[in-house]
């Protein structure tokens, strides 16, 4: 703490002791050290790296140089990040220069071993477009009808599909939603809303084990050649496994380019 404060006041010392006590009681000492090591390595390679979210409320995170936000100066509450009564585990998301994220990822694989690291899986579920396309294919609905039905419904839930047909200007022009022979088809699309569609790769989550992950979680190869867990982030957290989120942030890339151009 003396590295960050000219005088380590009693309130700073008490705050550190309180946070460290909570971290120890909840069993997250190793988690903080893993994140610290990742950030230390990234900064030693001049890779822009910054914690985000409620993690910056922690003085421990600050003095470990994981975050540059001083929670004492800004009067931030550690309890917002960690508390014995909170059910959710602490989550330190790391923002990285988009172009160099893979370097950090490779370091983690090299340090802990390929068998001990995997991408976290995420289960993609059916929304309107996916439901229409897959249900339409199964029922052999003509492609022209499927394309017309999908037009203008990006990122919409299938649950309110018929409501959208009456309210969205893009869909009110279409006649497919009002055709009697397609009623059952659209009812099926609504029925499968939110159903699991396929397993995908979490945007930035990496799972790190203290042994071979194949002994702990089911794994499979992704289409991109990565090993991913068949458990999603919620399952992983319930098992108490270490999940690190490495997020690509274009803003950090812009900052790096701007400083480079100025120099």
| Residue 217 near residue 241 (C-beta atoms within 8 A) | yes
Looking at the chain, the whole-number percentage of residues with pLDDT higher than 70 is: 100
Domain boundaries, given as residue ranges, for the chain: 10-123+197-262, 127-194
Q: Which of 144-148, 151-155, 235-239 has the lowest mean pLDDT?
A: 151-155
pLDDT of 47 strictly over 90: yes
**How would you list the strands of the sheet with 227-229, edge to edge?**
49-52, 93-97, 242-249, 196-208, 117-125, 227-229, 219-221
β-pairing, 242-249 with 93-97?
parallel
Q: What is the value of pTM for the model shown?
A: 0.83
pLDDT of 4 strictly over 80: no
Question: Residue 18, Cα to own-chain centre: how many angstroms?
Answer: 28
For the stretch 204-213, pLDDT in tens is 899 999 899 9
- The per-residue pLDDT for 175 is 87
For the stretch 117-147, pLDDT in tens is 999 999 999 999 999 999 999 999 999 999 9
Q: What CA–CA distance (Å, rounded) separates 19 from 76? A: 13
Q: What CA–CA distance (Å, rounded) separates 7 from 142? A: 74
| pLDDT band at 186; cut points 50, 70, 90 | very high
**Which single residue is written with the structure tokens 């999908």?**
150
Angle between helices 29-44 and 10-26 (to 10 degrees): 110
């Amino acid at each position: 703490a003396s590295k960050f404060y000219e005088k380590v006041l009693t309130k700073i010392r008490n705050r550190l002791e309180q946070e460290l006590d909570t971290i120890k009681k909840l069993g997250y000492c190793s988690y903080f050290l893993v994140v610290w090591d990742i950030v230390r390595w990234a900064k030693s390679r001049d890779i822009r790296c910054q914690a985000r979210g409620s993690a910056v409320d922690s003085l421990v995170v600050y003095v470990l140089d994981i975050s540059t936000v001083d929670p004492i100066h800004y009067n931030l509450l550690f309890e917002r990040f960690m508390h014995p009564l909170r059910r959710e585990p602490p989550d330190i998301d790391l923002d990285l220069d988009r172009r160099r994220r893979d370097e950090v990822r490779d370091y983690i694989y090299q340090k802990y071993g390929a068998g001990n690291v995997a991408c976290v899986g995420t289960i993609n579920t059916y929304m309107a477009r996916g439901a229409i396309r897959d249900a339409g294919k199964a029922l052999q609905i003509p492609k022209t009808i499927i394309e017309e039905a999908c037009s203008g419904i990006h990122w919409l839930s299938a649950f309110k599909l018929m409501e959208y047909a009456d309210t969205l200007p893009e869909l009110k022009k279409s006649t497919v939603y009002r055709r009697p022979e397609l009623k059952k088809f659209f009812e099926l699309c609504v029925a499968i809303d939110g159903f699991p569609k396929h397993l995908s790769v979490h945007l930035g989550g990496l799972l790190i084990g203290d042994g071979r992950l194949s002994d702990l979680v089911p794994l499979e190869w992704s289409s991109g050649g990565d090993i991913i867990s068949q458990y999603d982030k919620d399952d992983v957290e319930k098992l108490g496994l270490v999940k690190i989120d490495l997020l690509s942030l274009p803003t950090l890339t812009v900052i790096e380019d701007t400083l480079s151009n100025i120099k």
